[in-house]
Structure 1
């Protein structure tokens, strides 16, 4: 009778090996869940677009603090109250800032195109196109 009871308990329970196999299968399936959910998740905004947005905001600050602004040769030249001239131009695949034609301060990297167009006597439009073809544009207007 004891042998029979032992068999029934053995048949109703799990062995240690079965538990390890079940745990292994569970871990494999759990590791696949992020792969299945990745198409559903919202993609973060492009870092490049954020960098261009910050550039346009900082450019607005430079424009507000400048004494006069000139657009020439697809570059922006801001004369400060100190007499220094700050220029923003495209150089290879980046936008650089120079003071009095010297220096090389990188403000944006990996761009395809920088377009600066004078719209009127007090406004100009800056368009930046990144290497993926995404375009950000902002119009700046100065008040005298």
Structure 2
């Protein structure tokens, strides 16, 4: 009888603890992952077809072959795209941090509000 009561007690405690932990164990949605990888792909294409690329304070400036200047930057919790300082095309939502660094390659890091971390590297083609 004591074993049965102990087993029921452990089962109830485990159920209570699991029900409290489940909301914190939610993985990032696959839809959001798809959006971020799609963003990485389109950004890489835009960088590879550009004339010059500059990075200043986590803002990416892309100088196109037709003379436009495209800027990609974080504005509040979105990543936006502007052409020649105009517009507000939202590329990604629910972004906590957006970091761009350049060494020999361009490194892009995105952390979402759910604290999921995404990373991409773009190699610049040298003309010449």
Which residue of 50, 68, 86 maps to 1:84? 68
Structure 1 segments of 4 or more deviating over 6 A? none
Task: Please give the residue correspondences for 1:128-143 in structure 2 after superposition, counting only pairs within 5 Å.
Answer: 128-143=110-125
TM-score, normalisation: structure 2: 0.74
SS at match of 1:47: helix
Match of 2:107 in 1: 125
Structure 1 residue 97, shift from structure 2 partner: 0.2
Task: Please give the residue correspondences for 1:39-118 in structure 2 after superposition, counting only pairs within 5 Å.
Answer: 45-118=29-102
TM-score, normalisation: structure 1: 0.66
- Structure 1 distance, partners of 2:95, 2:71, is 17
Where does the alignment leave 5 or more consecutive residues of structure 2 unmatched?
1-26
- Structure 1 distance, partners of 2:101, 2:31, is 25
SS at match of 2:125: coil
- Greater Rg, structure 1 or structure 2? 1
Aligned pair count reads: 100
